[in-house]
Structure formats: structure tokens, C-alpha cells
Amino acid sequence: MKVFKFGGASVQDIDRIKNVGKLLADYQGEQLIIIISAMGKTTNALEKVAEAFFEGNKEQALQLFHAVKNQHLTIAKYLLVTHYNPCFNQLNDFFTEVEWLLHDKPVREYDYYYDQIVCVGELLSTSIVSFYLNEIGIKNTWNDVRDIVRTDNNFRDATIDWKRTAEAAKSIIDFTKANIYITQGFVGATDDNESTTLGREGSDFSAAIFANIFNAECQTIWKDVEGVMNADPKAFPEAQILSELSFDEVIEMAYYGAQVIHPKTIKPLENKGIPLHVKCFLDSSLPGTVITKKHPKNLPPIYVVKEKQVLVHLHSQDFSFVGDEPIIALYQIFKDIKIKPNLIQTGAISLQLCVDDRPEKVEQLAAAASSIFDVQIEKGLSLLSIRHYNADIITRLTEGKQILLEQKTTDTLQVVYRG
């Protein structure tokens, strides 16, 4: 049994969906669980719907959601013939689910509404792809992942209940009845059947959950690049393919912000020694990247830039040393407001934190920390992380930048900069 994950770029339009059908035609005799992300930029569009709704702009939220509806109905209309009507009915159920919410008024926290709205992107895309595959003779069974993946209620970054998820998965997915199952990435549900999400780009992790539960032969992530690269090719044209990587290396890359693979993906695979392949859906004959426990040697520098960063300066209010108690209190704040620093540097009477610029979280952090520290915030920054650095790559990537913070180990250099 194999697990495939297709990202949003692979199903962003009619031609790409047809390409998925051609790719899967070569695997019809195999047992597959297929995880599919929302189409193209649908998640971004749904985030705008959630923001408008939460800000009280109901009409704007409905208009934005109407555009999402039309996009999916148009794709279904031009893609399907015999299966259009049942597909329309299934899509309409999900449209109604969101529109019912949008006609209400927000009374809970933003993250809750984010998950209820944004999760629909995966439900729409998988429905269309499933009906299309059945129409062209690739028989498959569609499942709502919210009936399988059980989580806590930490909306936008939910934690998996592995035991209950495994029990549900094995009761619903039965390879004696069908060879191909299609479900959603990124999404789960609480015991109260409220939708949750597993963190942005969490579909890779979803695939790893199923791979782990069913002891898959391998997991393959199908992308629009030839494999894992040592840098983002859109920002760095000189980026090169890495044919082999270790689980350790990939989890370090993911931790520092590389967008190739979700940080939580590796542990479920590594625990059971399941190889992870990253391959190109535009040309499935290319070898791609294989990720295993093996440690390849002589890797080139690997570098990641995270934009929209905030540097939080925390200074002891009475010039006392930053000891155990303030640190413990600070980490409790991280836990309470659900924020994860990308970099921490500690001095005698001060700390500096680099975090993603999520305004509501940054405001909560600053307010909570101000009871312990004097707080200053710098916005509009970037965080550069370089694995296996050398002097030349440091010079090239930091030239002309105003370096505000630098942290270095034998393997990794991180700098926060402006410019």
C-alpha cells in the first residue's frame, strides 16, 4: 500500500486535474490512499473570507465565498459529464455548510472560524477529483477526513489523537472493498465534530498519518518541482536538486521554514522507516528526491528565507538577571497564546525572539510579556537560515542587509535582517 499526496498546484485547473488522472492510470492495480490539497490559491481566498466575516463584513465575506463557489462549479462543469449532477450536489452541501456560518455573527475566537471556513477548500477539491477519476474509469472511494482524523480543539494547529484516528481509519478504509481511497489533507475534527486544521501546508502531515497507520510501503508527495531543492527556486534560480536526504536533515529544513515538507511529516514516517519520495507530477519519470534514515554526505549549503518576521526585544525591568523564573513564565506565555519562536537569543538581562508576524499573536505576546519585561517590537524583517554554510554563501546572501541578530552553530547559521 502506498500513500500519495497531491498539492494545490497539481489540481489548480482542468488540465492539471486531467494530468493527475493520467498519472494515476499507471497505479490502478495498487492499493492507494490519496490526499489532495485545496485547488491553487483557494486556501488564500478562503482566509480572506474568514477575515471579512470575523471583522463583521458579512456581505463582503459572502461575495468572496461566492467567487470560490463559482470557480469550483466552473471547473466541475467543464471537467465532468455523466458525474456532474452528483458532484454538484456534494459541492452544494459544503457550500451550504459555510454559508450557514457566514450568515451568523462571530461569538468565538478567530481561529475557530478560520478552521470552519478554510477546511472546505480540501473538501471541494477532493470531491471534484474523485468524481472525475470515477468518470474516466479509475474507481475510487471518497471519504470525509473529518470522520477519520480526531484532534483536540487547538484550532489552526490541532493535535492528533492517534489512537482514535487509527481506529477510525481502519474501520473506514478497507482494501478488500476498494483499491483507491481519496480524502483531504490539512483537516480533522474534534469530538464535537467541529472542523480543525493541522497547521498551514499540513496536507503532507495528513499523508504521513495514513502512511504510519497503514504501514505504507512509501509516501510520495507530488509537486511542481523535480524534487527537494537546496533553496526556493523562485527566489534563487541557482537552486539545485537534492537526490537524497535524511529524515534528520529534512526535519531541520522544515523547522527553519523550508516550504517543501510540513515539519510534522517526518516523525510518523521515521518511526516506521517509511521512505518519503518527492516527485514531479509534470514528469513522473524523473527520479525526484528520496528521504530515508540514511545520511548522505557532502550536501551543498541549504538555505531558507522566512519573510514577515517580527523581532521582539525583552529587557529585564529592574536590570536583574534573566533567570529560571522569567524564562519559565515566558514559555508559559508561548504555550498559552500558542506561538512558536523561530529563534531565541538570551543575554544577561535581555532576550530577543524572532516570530512570524501574526498580528493578533504578536499583540498577545507583547501584552503578556510586559508584566515581566520591558517590550520593544521591530517589524518588516526577514529570517535567513543556512545549513552547511561556508564563508562565500554567507557573504552572498547577507550582502547589503542590515543584520539585527545572528546565531551560529557548527551546522547552521541564522540571521535576522532588514533590507
Asked if the structure places residue 234 within a domain, the reply is no
In a shared domain, residues 37 and 162: yes
Rounded average pLDDT over 66-77: 98
Asked if the structure places residue 336 within a domain, the reply is yes
pLDDT given for residue 60 in this prediction:
98
pLDDT tens-digit map of 79-130: 999 999 999 999 999 999 999 999 999 999 999 999 999 999 999 999 999 9
In a shared domain, residues 48 and 151: yes
Asked if the structure places residue 284 within a domain, the reply is no
pLDDT tens-digit map of 172-218: 999 999 999 999 999 999 999 999 999 877 899 999 999 999 999 99
Listed residues 194, 216, 238: the one ending a domain: 216
Strand ranges (E), 2-68: 2-6, 32-36
pLDDT given for residue 258 in this prediction:
82
In a shared domain, residues 28 and 147: yes
pLDDT given for residue 187 in this prediction:
98
Percent of the chain past pLDDT 90, that is, above it, reads 89
Listed residues 163, 194, 216: the one ending a domain: 216
In a shared domain, residues 310 and 196: no
Asked if the structure places residue 201 within a domain, the reply is yes
Q: Phi and psi dihedrals of 263, rounded to 5?
A: -55, -30
Q: What predicted TM-score, i.e. pTM, was given to this entire model?
A: 0.85
pLDDT given for residue 319 in this prediction:
82
Q: How far apart are CA 367 and CA 377, in angstroms?
A: 11
Rounded average pLDDT over 145-151: 98
| Domains of the chain: total | 2
pLDDT given for residue 263 in this prediction:
77
In a shared domain, residues 319 and 193: no
Asked if the structure places residue 72 within a domain, the reply is yes
Tell me, what DSSP letter sits at residue 342?
A: S
Q: Is the pLDDT of residue 388 over 90?
A: yes
| CB contact set of 114 (below 8 Å; sequence gap of 6+) | 47, 50, 155, 156, 197
pLDDT given for residue 325 in this prediction:
85
Q: Is the pLDDT of residue 381 over 90?
A: yes
pLDDT tens-digit map of 215-257: 999 999 999 889 999 999 888 999 999 999 999 999 888 888 8
Q: How far apart are CA 68 and CA 104, in angstroms?
A: 19
Percent of the chain past pLDDT 70, that is, above it, reads 100
Query: Can you give the residue range of the structural domain that contains 94?
Result: 2-216
Asked if the structure places residue 289 within a domain, the reply is no
Cα of 285 vs its chain's centroid, Å: 26
Give the three-class secondary structure for 413: strand
pLDDT tens-digit map of 308-333: 999 999 999 888 888 888 889 999 99
Q: What is the CATH number of the domain that holds 191?
A: 3.40.1160.10
pLDDT tens-digit map of 331-363: 999 999 989 999 999 999 999 999 999 999 999
pLDDT given for residue 323 in this prediction:
80
Listed residues 216, 238, 270: the one ending a domain: 216
Q: What is the CATH number of the domain that holds 403?
A: 3.30.2130.10
Which value, to the nearest 10 degrees, does the dihedral of the CA atoms of residues 200, 190, 159, 295 take?
-70
Asked if the structure places residue 98 within a domain, the reply is yes
In a shared domain, residues 205 and 315: no
Q: How far apart are CA 390 and CA 337, in angstroms?
A: 37
